[in-house]
Amino acid sequence: MDIGVIGVNHNLAPISVREKVSFTDTRKIEAINSLLDKDISEIVILSTCNRSEIYIRSNNIEDRIKIVEDFYEEYFNEKNIKPYLFSKSGKQAIDHLFEVTAGLDSIVLGEDQILGQVKDAHEFSMKLGASKKVFNKLFREAVTTSKEIKSTTKISQQPLSISYIGIKLLKDKLGSLENKNALVVGFGKMSKLTMNHLKEEKVNTIYLANRSHGKYEDIGDDFRNVIPIDYNSRYETLKNVDIVVSATASPHTVLKAEEIPKLDHKIFMMDIALPRDIDSKINEFENIEVYDIDDLKKIHDENDSKRNELAMIGRQTIHSKVEEFIEWLDVADIDPTIQSLNEKCFEIRQDTLDYIFRKVDLDSKDQRIIDKMIGSALKRLVREPILNLKQVKDKGKREEYIKLIEELFEI
């Protein structure tokens, strides 16, 4: 069994490509069930605004990687997707997951949001029975290592989230956001972070448009300058704002070019959703400038160099943790053999006890003593071979020993 990862991310694919292969929960379920039928043992799908990645565990991993590459093309009906796909296997795939989870493969080094997204992706697969012993161990170790890196390096303490950089870009365009009016579309985690940053920039009024009105109860006292509006009023509200930030989970655009009213003032729009919320045609309008996630990659923050130094420390931690996982994975290959040996011992123990108790009349106390003695003796018989087998580092030789043990013990 080996581990692989296949997908697209911000390193190779522009947003116009990434948004075409993003997974909703429904699509995840369909994809996981389809790939499990293709002789893949474990699957986790990580789909965020910056990446769409499928992690797999299977025999013949290179063949299965090709199957997943074909799957991307067929499932999303994207004939030109393959040049943007990346794939890694073995240690490289494990390294990649650890770096992604720690935020070291993000547009913003060390960002926090990806940690929760990896946890959610893993839990989703566990509920479907697609993440089992190895992936449960792998993803939990990646999450634990990420928390350790963030705790020791403090890499996430400086406010460099996607939403922060987006607001910084809008501030650069306007000179200042003080006393400006803003429209925020969506009320998820990213939108709440955005409103916090807007508050710090002393924005005058924030109009909040969200499809689900019930969520407005969560606004609280922290956002006293936030005015919830009817979702259908979002276009009319454009006449009263200077900036727009959209961050919904909608699979479709939420601001369409044909619905935009005539404006007599300049508006700057920031689209931090994937798929994109804002129709790209809007950027052609005279009074509107639209920016998306890929535009944020062009912004260099003064703290980047410091974060890169901390990222190097994080990668050293990841290196040692990955080595530990690979050692565990090597030993885990022995587990089926160990289980079969124990089952064989249990079978011999039961047959022996049944024979003794039929031939000799013993009270319950003596029966328990004999039971323990036979059980202990059988454990001693297999303990040394198991311990020695675990010490064999050469994978090929260990597989030979496993096969030999299975033949000798007929397990």
The answer to whether 187 is a known ligand-binding residue is yes
Strand partners of residue 44: 55
Q: Sheet containing 181-185: give its strands across.
A: 226-229, 205-209, 181-185, 243-246, 267-271, 288-292
The answer to whether 92 is a known ligand-binding residue is no
- Token pair 């449960």: residue: 136
The answer to whether 189 is a known ligand-binding residue is yes
Taking the CA atoms of residue 350, residue 351, residue 357 and residue 358 in that order, the dihedral angle to the nearest 10 degrees is 150
The answer to whether 113 is a known ligand-binding residue is yes
The answer to whether 191 is a known ligand-binding residue is yes
The answer to whether 368 is a known ligand-binding residue is no
The answer to whether 106 is a known ligand-binding residue is yes
The answer to whether 366 is a known ligand-binding residue is no
The answer to whether 181 is a known ligand-binding residue is no
Annotated catalytic residue: which of 3, 31, 32, 49?
49
- Token pair 């535009």: residue: 295
Pairing state between β 42-47 and 51-58: antiparallel
CA-to-CA separations, 245 to 132, 185, 186, in angstroms, rounded: 39, 6, 9
Smallest CA-to-CA distance from 255 within 283, 297, 227, 215 is with 283
Smallest CA-to-CA distance from 210 within 284, 143, 300, 277 is with 277
Longest dimension (CA), the chain: 102
The answer to whether 117 is a known ligand-binding residue is yes
The answer to whether 361 is a known ligand-binding residue is no
Smallest CA-to-CA distance from 100 within 57, 55, 70, 134 is with 55
Q: Where are the beta strands (DSSP E) in 59-149?
A: 86-89
The answer to whether 345 is a known ligand-binding residue is no
Smallest CA-to-CA distance from 54 within 69, 38, 33 is with 69
The amino acid sitting at 112 is: D
Active-site residue, 49 included = yes
CA distance 260 to 267: 12
Taking the CA atoms of residue 395, residue 397, residue 401 and residue 407 in that order, the dihedral angle to the nearest 10 degrees is 100
The answer to whether 50 is a known ligand-binding residue is yes
- First CA to last CA across the chain, in angstroms? 20
The answer to whether 112 is a known ligand-binding residue is yes
Strand partners of residue 227: 207
The answer to whether 230 is a known ligand-binding residue is no
> Which secondary structure element, helix H or strand E, spans residue 208, and what is its range?
strand 205-209
Burial degree of 180 (CB within 10 A; 0-12, 13-18, 19+): buried
Residue numbers belonging to the annotated binding site for NADP(+): 186-191
> From the annotation, which residues make up the binding site?
48-51, 106, 111-113, 117, 186-191
Annotated binding-site residues for substrate read 48-51, 106, 111-113, 117
Q: Give the residue numbers marked as catalytic.
A: 49
